[in-house]
Structure 1
């Protein structure tokens, strides 16, 4: 090949070591972020091929078992023998840390993967990884398990195509869960498609039957339009671009009628969530440029526009392509190249000013918006001065209803924001006064998504909250003055409580986001149930699932199950395993029923033995399935074949309810779980079944009623109280369940994806009704813990 990409392009810096012992060093953590980082690392290699001009198509497929396939039509990883390592180059890439083509700028002038640890780390943290390379007319294949080679590189055929296909399954012994989130992955792939115009990124999630293709000719202009699609925009996007010293800069700017700013920055397709010098340069230039424009056109008197003024309602995408970006760590969240600040500044200063001069209508709309913001800021300043004189926002003043703690070190102090005076009273009595402060909130606070800063400061509840935190707000905000390093939202589990929690989250995200970024914001998880047995035994569980697990644990200690012939004996661990599987099975079945599939239909499909969707591609097998369902009393209404996929769909009627038996259902995660668990529930015994409780024999006629009957009998031994609000707990109970650091469960609030978070707050709390209606309709089935 003439592209020069060979084994000699692969530079080896260091052996792969200790990745499995310390995975967090390479992927951040072993939670949901680290799990998804594996996919991003593999996709980034394909993206680098696209940037280099050798790839225009990438497909990511997620299988029901959470294995991932990433395929592209790039050049294919080199397979010739590496000069210094003496093994195929692909093996070097897959098994050696700090090995890859990214160190040779002849091969990848622009790349996000600078450290060369990406795919080798994915390999080390996967139960297995298979690589298939289509290159120079041949198909090469190799398999690895937990980072080690298990088969030599072999030729598996011939092809005219080219590219790389990597299949891997994350190792369950490393990650807390290997269940991928569709939205997190899809959002990332969509971003990549926006940042790389005309690149097609296809994402197929076979667990839920979703298949999406992202391809945008407009690049970041399309991106900024997409981000503002739920808002009232003031003008068409402004596009600025330029290149100097091998650094290419693209910026898309659009203002909307809202009050929050949204700045997304990328370097070589990497989302620099913490910004860097490119963002600093843009902010500085934007403020200077708009001040110059308003001054020259006599639009302001003496006052100057602040950075906060010019960024109100702003949505901007900043995308850089550069040869040697300096990132902070492997997660690449902040750009450290100081030279880009001046480059971005000069480009924005000249091009944006010229644009405003040439487009007076757009300039008028933007300037009108920011002058309004400046006046509101001035009104807010006067409001602050007024309340300061009254002692509400003073540095030393604290609101009267705040029950402060004795501890003065913020790192050791906690502030509970509690819904209602009643729960606030219990919390004040139950807390540990040494380090726990309580601030009761009356009713629902102001929705800051729809409100400018001057109006926000007129809200008594928000002023009280700002005063308690001690940081100030707006331009005065100083995270170093935060008085508590744990701020805990403690609201009821009902609809009103969740609404108040959402309003508080909106406030912190829009007006004090640094508190979230620094890891200071938490959500308390009060229990939903209290179980009492006599006067001495008392237990608390947080939700329905925890209640069932508690009952299963108690059953396994006290109950033995036999059948009519006494050939069956279920007790202790065996009984616990049976009851747990039964509960999980019915949980997944409930999800399928929510989606509109009758339980009898699912049971019949499992009984028939249809596990793989491939059966729906066989006409004879589909006919047998249809006959089987008809025998069960399920009426077949229609049968048709999808010519594109080759799979049949059966439209059936169960008690008048229409359902589709198709590849989407059979391939879904819920169905696959039900299918695998059903076998474990078969007891291979002769009903009826018997078990004993308190010396009394209880008889169960049918196998499918056994697990539920056992748990119902165990439940009879307890008085179960379902809490609707925190006010129903006395101070001792509130301390024991929700406030005691030794026993409580807290959720830390983080921002995993700024674009997704911003959009979610805009949809849920903004002015536009239609996007909110669509969101509710889409996610209605996912709702839980509703007080209805």
Structure 2
């Protein structure tokens, strides 16, 4: 660079540095910071952030209920887009807070880091900790109205984007309210108006707010399903609390589309009932309750009488309450909470819980190694968590969270306390001499060992099985007729019902990319069977071995040897049953394959119609796939004056077709029809499989009786 250019650049840099002074720094005070950077306080400004604001208000009411104040909370979604939360708790304080000279109501809604949850004795354990919830919601609302019942009076105050004042419709008055009404901000001093009389002894708070469209996109809306799920969850966590959700919006696609709808949630069974609600599978154990507590010390800044923050060592108590049960499946459902606030990303309490579970089971399996035939293998966390449904709750004052959204608990001491409680209580359960509990403990340990063996088996499959080629031998089942292609892309595995169909299919397939695996009759119903029994079953083991991706938690989709797995069974009742048994195996033990859309059902024809050709024309073949389609086709042919050769062939099985017919109708990608098996709602699908294929007979019998009238009797293959 020339010297002149260097000098100019240096001067420009120097000038820029001189121009950047303290005057360029912005200091955002009060609620301005919230409106400038809302994501810092509520995560996002889409529907999730909108819901987070609502949780902040609801959780304040729940904290009161946790303290024994009020047993009913109502949430109303109004048609004008506002939401209202009502409680029957103590009511927000209305007297003057001495340091600010403002009423308690105004402090709560306009000052960040203000409230009754900083160790003042009002709350021993609460979900609100940072004192910003109500004020953040207020800052992000185009209008917020609050009414408080205390001492026989009803007090009211309104805010516009966090600023107190009066709307022209007068806060506290009846009739339609609207954030677009004329607003007059207080100038000299705020006023907490008395707008009516409250019933004698009645206390409570009513908060109604309109989310600011300047902050939240117009397409954002309150999620009714999420609100109902949160209300149900909270009613489990706070036994005796009633939550009412009322939707008056008439939003299409919601339960309230045709008019106001109201749901009430109240559960006295607590987290035991919560676990029973969450459990997706038949039980191996009853719901076990593990309870205990522990203490720890920590140094925290405490506000002294002179208003200064002084580091003080305080002793905390952490209460642990866990409900858990194991089921026959391998999915894990664990919900964790701190003071009824959900921690979806876990934290120290969940880490202590999982570590202790593994420790307890390793000790128990070591003590019963000979009886359970454990061998030298070691159980790991996934083996223990398979089929577990648990609710882990801890309660403590001032827990340390990561951020305002409170998704992760960070208080280190909680881990060891939870771990000790779980180890003591769970060991006592598993080693209990009582007959019922002893049987359950034995069944549980056998299940964990079976999961361990399944995982090891899957790992061995992954390590040792490769698609055979000219240079390596195959350890795959001898009945497999593999394809020549070495890649996964475009390859297909047909699971074929019966040896007769297999013979025809061998001639009908394209051996370049289509593989065949025959199965004999009806495979094991894996919904009822233990994992060990499933692995011992020859047909199930062959299918798992041929697909080559393992099973259960060890299933590795990337290791699957075929791009498509196609179930090809006869078009009769037995064929449908076999297809259902195979789908049960895939859903229960190889679910990622189904979720990836790689499982299909072939659609073979039920009839073959031979239409006589006019003169020297060749006869035309038409295939139909149901009785209704056959009748419709015959009527159409008759109307067109076509002659049909009798008798019409009805296929009882795939083996009745010749190779050309099977290829044309069922196996040739250019002409066949396949039904892709999909999972839109995993919970609903699991419920159906348990109803139709599970151990419990009575619900299935009731389903059959109730559905008998809807059955098309002509579809019965008698």
Q: Which band: TM-score by shorter chain?
A: 0.5 to 0.7
> Is the counterpart of residue 242 in structure 1 residue 292 in structure 2?
yes
Structure with greater contact order relative to length (CA < 8 Å, sep ≥ 6): 1
CA offset at residue 22 of structure 1? 2.5
Q: Measure, in 2, the Cα distance between the counterparts of 1:164 and 1:58.
A: 10
Equivalent residue, structure 1, for 2:425: 351
CA offset at residue 134 of structure 1? 0.6
Q: Measure, in 2, the Cα distance between the counterparts of 1:381 and 1:158.
A: 71
Pick one of 211, 231, 235 that aligns with 1:170.
211
User: More helix per residue: 1 or 2?
Assistant: 1
Q: 1:615-634 alignment to 2 at 5 Å?
A: none
Equivalent residue, structure 2, for 1:213: 264
Pick one of 333, 354, 367 that aligns with 2:407.
333
Q: Measure, in 2, the Cα distance between the counterparts of 1:212 and 1:37.
A: 21
Q: 1:96-154 deviations in whole A, cap 9, x for unaligned? A: 22222111341122111112121111112222111000112211001112222222421
Equivalent residue, structure 1, for 2:328: 257
Q: 1:233-286 deviations in whole A, cap 9, x for unaligned? A: 234311111122211110111222222121111111111111122122222222
> Is the counterpart of residue 97 in structure 1 residue 112 in structure 2?
yes
- Say if 2:109 and 2:134, in contact at 8 Å, map to a contact too: yes
C-alpha spacing 1:176/1:15, structure 2 compared with 1 (3 Å): same
Pick one of 358, 363, 371 that aligns with 1:299.
371
Equivalent residue, structure 2, for 1:66: 81
Query: SS of the counterpart of 2:89?
Result: coil
C-alpha spacing 1:68/1:305, structure 2 compared with 1 (3 Å): same
Query: SS of the counterpart of 1:20?
Result: helix
Q: 1:523-538 alignment to 2 at 5 Å?
A: none
Would you say how many aligned residue pairs link Structure 1 and Structure 2? Answer: 466
Query: SS of the counterpart of 2:91?
Result: coil
Q: Measure, in 2, the Cα distance between the counterparts of 1:268 and 1:317.
A: 13
Equivalent residue, structure 2, for 1:320: 394
- Say if 1:30 and 1:176, in contact at 8 Å, map to a contact too: no
Q: Measure, in 1, the Cα distance between the counterparts of 2:358 and 2:687.
A: 29
Q: 1:466-485 deviations in whole A, cap 9, x for unaligned? A: 69xxxx994698xxx999xx
- CA-based RMSD: 4.6
- Say if 1:474 and 1:511, in contact at 8 Å, map to a contact too: no
Equivalent residue, structure 2, for 1:389: 464
Pick one of 145, 154, 157 that aligns with 2:160.
145
C-alpha spacing 1:257/1:71, structure 2 compared with 1 (3 Å): same
Q: Measure, in 2, the Cα distance between the counterparts of 1:100 and 1:176.
A: 31
Equivalent residue, structure 1, for 2:281: 231
- Say if 1:275 and 1:333, in contact at 8 Å, map to a contact too: yes
Q: Measure, in 2, the Cα distance between the counterparts of 1:763 and 1:388.
A: 35
- Say if 1:255 and 1:366, in contact at 8 Å, map to a contact too: no
Q: Which runs of no fewer than 5 residues in structure 1 stay unpaired?
A: 1-12, 394-398, 405-416, 421-438, 484-488, 490-498, 523-726, 729-748, 751-756, 778-788
Query: SS of the counterpart of 2:346?
Result: coil
Q: Measure, in 2, the Cα distance between the counterparts of 1:17 and 1:38.
A: 17
Query: SS of the counterpart of 1:92?
Result: helix
Q: 1:12-91 alignment to 2 at 5 Å?
A: 15-91=30-106
Q: 1:40-71 deviations in whole A, cap 9, x for unaligned? A: 11000001111222222111111223321111
Q: Measure, in 2, the Cα distance between the counterparts of 1:510 and 1:341.
A: 33
C-alpha spacing 1:511/1:104, structure 2 compared with 1 (3 Å): farther
Q: Measure, in 1, the Cα distance between the counterparts of 2:149 and 2:515.
A: 63
Equivalent residue, structure 1, for 2:195: 156
Q: 1:380-414 deviations in whole A, cap 9, x for unaligned? A: 42343234223469xxxxx954579xxxxxxxxxx
Equivalent residue, structure 2, for 1:195: 237
Q: Measure, in 1, the Cα distance between the counterparts of 2:50 and 2:222.
A: 8
CA offset at residue 164 of structure 1? 0.7
Equivalent residue, structure 1, for 2:312: none
Equivalent residue, structure 2, for 1:368: 443
**What TM-score do the two structures reach when normalised by structure 1?**
0.52
Query: SS of the counterpart of 2:409?
Result: coil
Q: Measure, in 2, the Cα distance between the counterparts of 1:92 and 1:64.
A: 30
Q: Measure, in 2, the Cα distance between the counterparts of 1:177 and 1:171.
A: 12
Q: 1:421-474 deviations in whole A, cap 9, x for unaligned? A: xxxxxxxxxxxxxxxxxx9999xxx9999996987996679967x69xxxx994
- Say if 1:380 and 1:457, in contact at 8 Å, map to a contact too: no
C-alpha spacing 1:184/1:372, structure 2 compared with 1 (3 Å): same
Equivalent residue, structure 1, for 2:246: 204
CA offset at residue 320 of structure 1? 0.6
Q: 1:554-596 deviations in whole A, cap 9, x for unaligned? A: xxxxxxxxxxxxxxxxxxxxxxxxxxxxxxxxxxxxxxxxxxx
Q: 1:13-63 deviations in whole A, cap 9, x for unaligned? A: 972223223222211112221121121110000011112222221111112
- Say if 1:72 and 1:164, in contact at 8 Å, map to a contact too: yes
> Is the counterpart of residue 108 in structure 1 residue 96 in structure 2?
no
Pick one of 415, 433, 453 that aligns with 1:378.
453
Range with greater deviation from structure 2 (351-360 or 244-253): 351-360
Equivalent residue, structure 1, for 2:382: 308
Range with greater deviation from structure 2 (324-333 or 190-199): 324-333
- Say if 1:130 and 1:144, in contact at 8 Å, map to a contact too: yes
- Say if 2:293 and 2:417, in contact at 8 Å, map to a contact too: no
- Say if 1:14 and 1:96, in contact at 8 Å, map to a contact too: no
